[in-house]
Amino acid sequence: MTIEQDRRSPPCALVIFGASGDLTARKLLPALERLTAFGGLPPEVRLVGVARTAMTDDEFGEYCRRTVPADGNSRWKELAATARYVHGGYDDPATYQRLSEVLADSDRMYGTAGNRLYYFATPPRLFSPLAVNLGKAGLSKPSGAGFVRAVIEKPFGWDEESARELYADLVSAFEEEQIFRIDHYLAKETVQNLLALRFANSIFEPIWNRTWVDNVQITVAETLGVGDRGGFYETTGAMRDIVQNHVLQVLSLFLMEPPTSFHPEAIRDEKVKLLRAIRPLDDERDIAANAVRGQYTRGGTREDLMPGYREEAGVDPLSSTETFVALRLDIDNWRWTGVPVYVRTGKRLPARVTEVAIEFHQPPQLPLFPGGAAHLQRDALIVRVAPDEGLSLRFGAKVPGHAFTVEKASMDFSYESFVQQSPDAYERVLLDALIGDPTLFIRADEVGRSWRIVDPVLKYWDRAAQPIPLYQAATWGPPEATMLIERDGRSWRHSG
Ligand code: BG6
């Protein structure tokens, strides 16, 4: 794979805060290596690491090379060899003073042209102090024609109020246009393909509405438990970890109105309009009826016994953190009124599946088929985000033979049919941020609106006197989740 000319980064100093941390080692350095291999980063892109771990420039360069060896890639070796490192605390003005000198140096020696991309690869509690201190040090505004951008990754706050506080701190230093909020789901090839599917074809859009669609289902199911992230997950839970961001982002792209252009703001305007049209579950009765939480207990088989959530490292043995969420959401707009959107996500479910499915109305005269078709599930269009990325259209077909029996068949498209390898999500977001394309990043109003949807439910669960419903590991969540959809005469697409 080579990167097209217009997708190459301009000159820039790429500053990673948290350069000795986990995100940098697992995601950012490998993505940078790939980008150098494919020609996405010209020699005028320089790497600057900032962290509290003591290291010299050379040691940091060596750390980059050790983390991602890639011996055959000379541009990567050069990026690592010329990398600079600033050691210091994030609340110490001297750190920013040194950073400022390193950046000036980089402009002089490497032609980074005053452009800076700050990547906040730190724990989220440092986002505010970092932004405020960059502002105070005069490092948050571009000088001359250059650009300064800050990249942050969820969580963007912990609830509606803390998200507002974070926003206030960010915009005390940066303009909203300078802030690039990542949701790595938006960088997934199949999620982007939603745009192609809907707007590069004429066959889907006419049926993309309440006249044809019975319901929409979004599933983000994981087989893994919380592993060694118990401490983090205790303060997060499935609603904040997956629904507030990934699910609502995918949902809004999938169901928004056609944008007037492919300009990033036009797309983001439509996404936020859709989020605004989702009826918040404010009323306690509504929440009780339309939101289900759950937590996994020990389960699996004798050979493969999986611990319960409360037995995981770093988890309170009495924890009521949810590892599963199922919701019914309703959209109050012309296109989707009356079409429920069922959302389900959880850890330790029986399968790893991320998909978005549209189920169409049943045909009006099923009894026409004496061989029986009433048992048939609805026709469906399924976008598989993971695994085996692709698209399936499920429909009824006659089974060969004398009887007129109808069974479900499917037409499948797999991403594997493209020989070209998909870029990793972090390659994509890094390059987009360097180029300055905000399409796949989340705007402040989207963040606020997403909190508006999930916050009342979280607050209700916090107050709830009833214990959290439980489900055994390797099952599809608590029985309440099944009831949530079966009560409406429908069923989850994956349930057994
Ligand atoms: C992350 C969550 O944002 O997404 C994790 O913090 C989750 O808990 C992960 O496992 C899922 O991402 P993916 O790309 O593996 O579907």
- Position 180 in a domain: no
Average pLDDT (147-174) is 96
Confidence of residue 496 (pLDDT cuts 50, 70, 90): low
405 touches 398 (CB < 8 A): yes
- Position 177 in a domain: no
478 shares a domain with 340: yes
For residue 223, report the phi and psi dihedrals to the nearest 5 degrees.
Answer: -85, -25
CATH number at residue 254: 3.30.360.10
Give the total number of structural domains in the chain: 2
Dist. CA 250 → ligand 1 center (Å): 14
Long-range contacts of 269-273 (CB under 8 A, 24+ apart): 271/446, 272/443, 272/445, 272/446, 272/449
Q: Which two tokens stand for residue 169?
A: 């701190």
Domain that holds residue 106: 5-153
Dist. CA 247 → ligand 1 center (Å): 11
Please tell me if the CB atom of residue 427 comes closer than 6 angstroms to any atom of ligand 1: no
- Position 58 in a domain: yes
Closest atom of ligand 1 to 188 CA is 14
Given this model, what pLDDT does residue 230 score? 93
- Reference 221, options 357, 353, 382; nearest CA is 353
pLDDT tens digits, residue range 93-123?
999 999 999 999 999 999 999 999 999 999 9
pLDDT tens digits, residue range 12-41?
999 999 999 999 999 999 999 999 999 999
358 shares a domain with 244: yes
Q: Which two tokens stand for residue 33?
A: 């290596």
- Reference 449, options 333, 276, 279; nearest CA is 276
Task: Choose the residue to mutate in 244, 246, 322, 324 for probing ligand 1, maximizing ligand atoms within 8 Å of C-beta.
Answer: 246
**Which is it for strands 213-221 and 353-360: parallel, antiparallel or unpaired?**
antiparallel
Question: Given the structure tokens 């309009």, which residue do they identify?
Answer: 273
Average pLDDT (369-394) is 81
Please tell me if the CB atom of residue 241 comes closer than 6 angstroms to any atom of ligand 1: yes
Q: Which pTM was predicted? A: 0.93
71 touches 60 (CB < 8 A): no
CATH number at residue 122: 3.40.50.720
Dist. CA 220 → ligand 1 center (Å): 9
Please state, in angstroms and as integers, the Cα–Cα distance from residue 252 to each residue in 245, 302, 442, following that order: 11, 41, 11
Please state, in angstroms and as integers, the Cα–Cα distance from residue 49 to each residue in 18, 45, 79, 352, 438, following that order: 7, 13, 12, 35, 24
Last residue of a domain, one of 153, 177, 206: 153
pLDDT tens digits, residue range 459-485?
999 998 899 999 999 999 999 999 999
Q: Which residues contact 240 (CB under 8 A, 6 or more apart)?
A: 155, 158, 454, 458
Please tell me if the CB atom of residue 222 comes closer than 6 angstroms to any atom of ligand 1: yes
- Look at 371 and 398; give whichever has higher pLDDT: 398
- Position 476 in a domain: yes
Angstrom distance (rounded) from CA 311 to CA 304: 16
Q: Which two tokens stand for residue 281?
A: 């579950």
309 shares a domain with 235: yes
Average pLDDT (152-176) is 96
**Which is it for strands 12-17 and 470-472: parallel, antiparallel or unpaired?**
unpaired
For 25, which DSSP code? Answer: I
Dist. CA 468 → ligand 1 center (Å): 23
Given this model, what pLDDT does residue 262 score? 87
- Of the chain, the percentage scoring pLDDT greater than 90 comes to 82
For 309, which DSSP code? Answer: G
- Position 434 in a domain: no
Of 2-11, 163-172, 306-315, the range with the lowest mean pLDDT is 2-11
Given this model, what pLDDT does residue 6 score? 75
Confidence of residue 303 (pLDDT cuts 50, 70, 90): confident
- Position 429 in a domain: no
Given this model, what pLDDT does residue 412 score? 95
Asked whether residue 439 carries a pLDDT value surpassing 70, the answer given is yes
- Look at 5 and 93; give whichever has higher pLDDT: 93
Please tell me if the CB atom of residue 424 comes closer than 6 angstroms to any atom of ligand 1: no
Asked whether residue 340 carries a pLDDT value surpassing 90, the answer given is yes
Total residues found in the chain within this entry: 496
Residue with the smallest CA separation from ligand 1 atom 10 is 222
Task: Choose the residue to mutate in 154, 224, 241 for probing ligand 1, maximizing ligand atoms within 8 Å of C-beta.
Answer: 241
Please tell me if the CB atom of residue 190 comes closer than 6 angstroms to any atom of ligand 1: no
- Position 494 in a domain: no
Please state, in angstroms and as integers, the Cα–Cα distance from residue 25 to each residue in 33, 60, 124, 426, 441, following that order: 11, 12, 17, 12, 22
Residue with the smallest CA separation from ligand 1 atom 13 is 185
Residue with the smallest CA separation from ligand 1 atom 5 is 241
208 touches 198 (CB < 8 A): yes
Given this model, what pLDDT does residue 387 score? 86
- Position 175 in a domain: no
Confidence of residue 363 (pLDDT cuts 50, 70, 90): confident
378 shares a domain with 318: yes
Decide: residue 495, CB within 10 A, 0-12 exposed, 13-18 middle, 19+ buried: middle
242 shares a domain with 128: no
Closest atom of ligand 1 to 386 CA is 16
Asked whether residue 406 carries a pLDDT value surpassing 90, the answer given is no
Task: Choose the residue to mutate in 242, 348, 356 for probing ligand 1, maximizing ligand atoms within 8 Å of C-beta.
Answer: 242
Dist. CA 108 → ligand 1 center (Å): 40
Closest atom of ligand 1 to 233 CA is 8
- Look at 67 and 386; give whichever has higher pLDDT: 67
Dist. CA 252 → ligand 1 center (Å): 18
Dist. CA 142 → ligand 1 center (Å): 33
244 shares a domain with 98: no
Residue with the smallest CA separation from ligand 1 atom 2 is 241
Asked whether residue 371 carries a pLDDT value surpassing 70, the answer given is no
Angstrom distance (rounded) from CA 223 to CA 455: 26
Query: Catalytic residues, which ones?
Result: 246
218 touches 343 (CB < 8 A): yes
395 shares a domain with 249: yes
Q: Rounded to 5 degrees, what angle do the CA atoms 485, 487, 493 make?
A: 30
Q: Which residues contact 30 (CB under 8 A, 6 or more apart)?
A: 67, 68, 424, 426
Q: CB-hemisphere CA count at 13 Å for 132?
A: 13
453 shares a domain with 306: yes
Q: CB-hemisphere CA count at 13 Å for 110?
A: 27
Residue 323 CA from chain centroid, whole number: 17
Confidence of residue 341 (pLDDT cuts 50, 70, 90): very high
pLDDT tens digits, residue range 258-302?
999 989 999 999 999 999 999 999 999 999 999 999 999 999 888
Last residue of a domain, one of 153, 170, 198: 153
Asked whether residue 366 carries a pLDDT value surpassing 70, the answer given is no
348 shares a domain with 287: yes
Task: Choose the residue to mutate in 27, 181, 184 for probing ligand 1, maximizing ligand atoms within 8 Å of C-beta.
Answer: 184
Given this model, what pLDDT does residue 419 score? 61
Residue with the smallest CA separation from ligand 1 atom 12 is 185
Decide: residue 257, CB within 10 A, 0-12 exposed, 13-18 middle, 19+ buried: middle
Residue with the smallest CA separation from ligand 1 atom 6 is 241
Dist. CA 246 → ligand 1 center (Å): 9
For 184, which DSSP code? Answer: T
Asked whether residue 373 carries a pLDDT value surpassing 60, the answer given is no
Closest atom of ligand 1 to 246 CA is 3
330 shares a domain with 281: yes
Please tell me if the CB atom of residue 354 comes closer than 6 angstroms to any atom of ligand 1: yes
Last residue of a domain, one of 153, 173, 208: 153
Given this model, what pLDDT does residue 416 score? 79
Angstrom distance (rounded) from CA 191 to CA 386: 10
Given this model, what pLDDT does residue 415 score? 82
Asked whether residue 425 carries a pLDDT value surpassing 90, the answer given is no
231 shares a domain with 147: no
Residues paired with residue 12 on neighbouring β-strands, in sequence order? 45
240 shares a domain with 95: no
